[in-house]
Amino acid sequence: MLNAALLRRIAAVFFAVVLVSQNVAAALPAAVDNQPLPTLAPMLEKTTPAVVNIATTGRIRLQQNPLLNDPFFRRFFDFPDQPRERQTQSLGSGVVIDAQQGYVLTNHHVIDKAEKIRVVLSDGRAFDADVIGTDSESDVAVIRIPAERLTAVTLANSDTLRVGDFVVAIGNPFGLGQTVTSGIVSALGRSGLGIEGYEDFIQTDASINPGNSGGALVNLRGELVGINTAILAPGGGNVGIGFAIPINMAHKIMDQLVTHGKISRGQLGVTAQDLTPELAQAFGLKAQRGTVIAEVVKGSPADRAGLKVGDIIQRVNGRRIESSADVRNHIGLLRVGESVSLDIVRNGRNQHIKAVIEAPKLTYLDGGRLHPRLAGARFSDIAEGMPQYGRNTGILLSELDPRSPAAQTGLKEGDIVASANQKPVKSINDLETILGNGSGGGLLLNVQRGNGALFLLIR
């Protein structure tokens, strides 16, 4: 690090050069007092070859008025044939994690629904990529390119990051080509943003723009600390609030995707809420860290392990818990069959409890059984392992055939059905009761989609 005297000397030299002549091109000297000027160039020369540009193409089905599917209606009103699909294109970034195997880590949303993925290296070489696996809930994806003279980035331990650490974001913003921006770690453990299901973001003021998604966030040693994912942009532009997935979290998900091709999340069987100062006082706690168990599902791993309502969870597998989101994130990274240890406080006494994560017990329902226009849709209850749906009340449209009658009604995968025929739906059993098997009459659904809601009339 340069001391204050040297910085003043650099400033003096710079202004002296400017004042001597405005007609002569001037530049900072390579060194001052025999000390080289600070630069990130050597680190970037080693790191940027591991960051790639990703271009994808795909197709999406256009939603049309159901009347246009009626041949008589189309012929009577002489409607021309219209395309039912349109091509999509997107740009993003990725990071070479394993040069020997050709594995590239990126965001799920960068390659979502892509039919073709083209990866361009910093030296201009281009390859078509295959998808190894994706996880929409954490927004992590792994793709693979030919392992031909690739450079991989070195991974850091993101758990050791501190607010104030210098970081550099590398990516492909707006399709301009590889671009580097710098900043600091503004905050750690950001969650509750509604961006992804599992959130434990690094916040940074290094500029992250569209196209940077999937790119690298590195420290000053060129080690990967995070995968750039999103920005908070209320005015549509960068305001210095960017988010990256910590590499420790992303790498754990990557290992599962590479080994199994998918994420198999389990459940513990608890509902937790943040420990407020008022709750801490009510429980007689001096410390206000942790999360309180508000519900234990009967017959769940938590129930069998002896967890109780009112227990304060302070650590999960040795990691300190600050909020209910921390519990969700730590449990969500565990596979079915893995054990988890919890340090809790019960009635003022510390206890240590172990449990084994189990698969969520979900019941599925094929929509075609209920209504002919729901054929191709598959519904399920919302389980603990689906945090992206928050506390929404309803049932989840978990699978949808894009060419099915259900898709033509305007339903979308991920929709939450809150009511049917103006009656609340809290489980798939409710939907069965309301509609009855094989009912062919009209159907009015109230659907929650993202941050909004709408009614769909299905005939």
Both tokens assigned to 66: 């159901």
Q: Tell me the residue type at 301.
A: P
Instruction: Please give the Cα distance from 137 to 115 (Å, whole number).
Output: 21
Closest CA to 363 of 380, 348, 340: 380
Active site residue 21: no
Tokens standing for residue 52? 């790639």
Set 108, 135, 138, 139: catalytic member = 139
Phi, psi of 361 (to 5 degrees): -90, 95
**Residue 158 appears among annotated catalytic residues:** no
Whole-number Å distance between alpha carbons of 104 and 161: 23
Alpha-carbon torsion 335, 337, 343, 345, what sign? positive
Q: In this structure, what are the phi and psi dihedrals at residue 391, rounded to the nearest 5 degrees? A: -105, 30
What are the φ/ψ torsions at residue 253 (nearest 5 degrees)?
A: -65, -40
Structure tokens given for 393: 């009340």
Contact of 375 with 368, CB cutoff 8 Å: yes
Annotated catalytic residue within 90, 93, 109, 343 = 109
DSSP-derived 3-state class of residue 364: strand
Burial class (CB in 10 A: 0-12, 13-18, 19+), 264: middle
For residue 450, count CB atoms less than 10 angstroms from its CB and return exposed for 0-12, middle for 13-18, buried for 19 or more: exposed
Catalytic hit among 138, 213, 380, 419: 213
- Catalytic residue check, 109: yes
At residue 5, the 3 state secondary structure works out as helix
Catalytic residues: 109, 139, 213
